Amino acid sequence: MKVIVQSAKPRRISSYEIPASNPFGICSYKTLDLKPFRICSYEKRGIYPLVLVPAKRPQLSPGVMGRGATYAKVENTQMSARRVKVKASSGAYEVVCAAGAVARLGEEIARLGKFTSVHVVSSPKVWRAVGKTILRGLGKQRPDGVHLFDDREAKKAIASVEQISRLLARAKADRGSLIVAVGGGVTGDVVGFAAASYLRGVALVQVPTTLVAQTDSSVGGKTGVNLPEGKNLVGAFYPARLVVVDPQSLKTLSKREFRGGLAEVIKYGIIADAELFAYLEENCEKALRRDAKVLEHLTTRSIEIKAWVVSKDERESGLREILNYGHTFGHALESETRYRRYQHGEAVAWGMKCAALLGHKIGLTKARDVSRIVALIERLGSLPAWPKISDASLIAAMRTDKKSRGNKLRFVLSKKIGKASTYEDVPLDAVKHALHFAPRLHTHWEFGRG
């Protein structure tokens, strides 16, 4: 099998500008025999149709591309990989983002130092899609073991952490070993928690393969699993030593998973970057077609925002809570449907609609911003239907949210697109209002011309 390795002239700059052109060029080929791996799992597939909202999009000035205000230092090096540095109490680490970055995975790992063994942990479905690419990219860092587990949201539980830990123990992984997590958000969270717990902590590298994981969950060190009582209630802050983001891996992603990932990108625009939100409004259809330049910008910008936030508030004691916009509602929807109806991005999309309505109900979010938020979410496509669950049950589930204090609900709300904060003492009637009208809310609101 021939593998194309892309590169460009080495260069190193400190810049806040995002180049408009793709600098990559094909320079060499490599051939490698791949050993077969036994793969088995139960897979549950689902798709939903694309429904576009006919909205007029605003005309953007040349500077309105989300490029003017970068929150984290970005360095261009060989292959023009963007290196976003993230501060953490255990030491700073890098998020390497570039098309074809996985082809140099072994080289990136070698920069971290030597390890007694390398263990890749993934899922059968992901490994079928990207396993050969990962093995080629590891090169001399060829893994001592490839361990597969069921990465469905319903399996994001303590039992999966135990399963992975026992696999590592049987493979004789020690404190000098490296664990490489390859997959989506569930894989990153579960394998990250296993890495934090096994032998009280072994080195971790994240290789996210979904848009949700690439733009959000792989950065910031949050790991954990769900309980029947709520989502992500058990876990640890355990940053990876390295995160390698390759947008090319998104080519194998299903439409449903991809659209769910775009919901998280919309979130970044709402909470921190009005220009990013406007860019999405202007380029939503290109994003849905997975246009390379648009995806490069959306992915990098989201990572920059996440890096800035978690560098300032690693343990979610204040600022980092804004990353949970829409998640209080979304997590309740996931837990009350036993993690079987919604993918995470879909639940967050419903949650952001609820948060926008709640903000408007208490006089915080303007009607125009609510309309823009709902319209952009609807352009991603129809969501799995709202569940037949009482408001009381959803509110009870929301009380288990990590942001709750003294059994009081706290919500991240947006005063205007590009700004968000956490609010307490939100009237319960306003929450019920949002839950009642969110499933019924649709918009054909259009931007004014000019």
Task: Assign residue 245 the CATH number of its domain.
Answer: 3.40.50.1970
35 in a domain, yes or no? no
330 in a domain, yes or no? yes
The DSSP code sequence of 184-201 is SHHHHHHHHHHHHHGGG-
* Pairwise pLDDT comparison (402 vs 18), residue with the higher score: 402
Are residue 226 and residue 111 in the same domain, yes or no?
yes
Average confidence (pLDDT) over 88-113: 96
Last residue of a domain, one of 248, 264, 280: 264
Share of the chain above pLDDT 70, in %: 80
The pairing of strands 178-183 and 203-208 is parallel
Instruction: Flag whether pLDDT at 58 surpasses 50.
Output: no
Are residue 195 and residue 339 in the same domain, yes or no?
no
Are residue 240 and residue 347 in the same domain, yes or no?
no
Average confidence (pLDDT) over 399-418: 89
Are residue 109 and residue 233 in the same domain, yes or no?
yes
Q: Which pLDDT value is given to residue 227?
A: 92
Q: Which residues contact 439 (CB under 8 A, 6 or more apart)?
A: 385, 386
Residue 230 — very low, low, confident or very high, per pLDDT cuts 50/70/90? confident
Residue 143 — very low, low, confident or very high, per pLDDT cuts 50/70/90? very high
Are residue 110 and residue 254 in the same domain, yes or no?
yes
Range in 8-22, 199-213, 320-334 the model is least confident about: 8-22
Residue 8 — very low, low, confident or very high, per pLDDT cuts 50/70/90? very low
Range in 39-48, 120-129, 401-410 the model is least confident about: 39-48
Q: Which pLDDT value is given to residue 338?
A: 92
164 in a domain, yes or no? yes
How many angstroms separate the CA atoms of 328 and 325, rounded? 7
Burial annotation 353-389 (CB, 10 A radius, 16+ → b, else e): bbbbbbbbbbebbeeebbbbbbbbbbbbbebbeeeee
Beta bridge partners of 145: 119
Last residue of a domain, one of 243, 264, 285: 264
CA distances from 296 to 82, 376, 439 (A): 10, 19, 32
Instruction: Flag whether pLDDT at 117 surpasses 90.
Output: yes
How many angstroms separate the CA atoms of 7 and 24, rounded? 6
302 in a domain, yes or no? no
Q: Which pLDDT value is given to residue 403?
A: 81
280 in a domain, yes or no? no
Instruction: Report how many domains make up the chain.
Output: 2
Residue 51 — very low, low, confident or very high, per pLDDT cuts 50/70/90? very low
- State pLDDT tens for residues 367-386: 999 999 999 999 999 999 99
Are residue 348 and residue 230 in the same domain, yes or no?
no
Which residues are the active-site residues?
Answer: 200, 222, 264, 306, 316, 320, 324, 327, 331, 344
Query: Among residues 147, 283, 268, which one has the least CA distance to residue 211?
Result: 268
Residue 80 — very low, low, confident or very high, per pLDDT cuts 50/70/90? confident
Mean pLDDT of the chain: 83
40 in a domain, yes or no? no
Q: Where are the beta strands (DSSP E) in 37-117?
A: 74-76, 82-86, 93-97
Q: Which pLDDT value is given to residue 443?
A: 55
Residue pair 144/178 in contact (Cβ under 8 Å)? The answer is no
Residue 281 — very low, low, confident or very high, per pLDDT cuts 50/70/90? very high
* Domain that includes residue 186, residue range: 70-264
Last residue of a domain, one of 246, 264, 282: 264
Are residue 82 and residue 214 in the same domain, yes or no?
yes
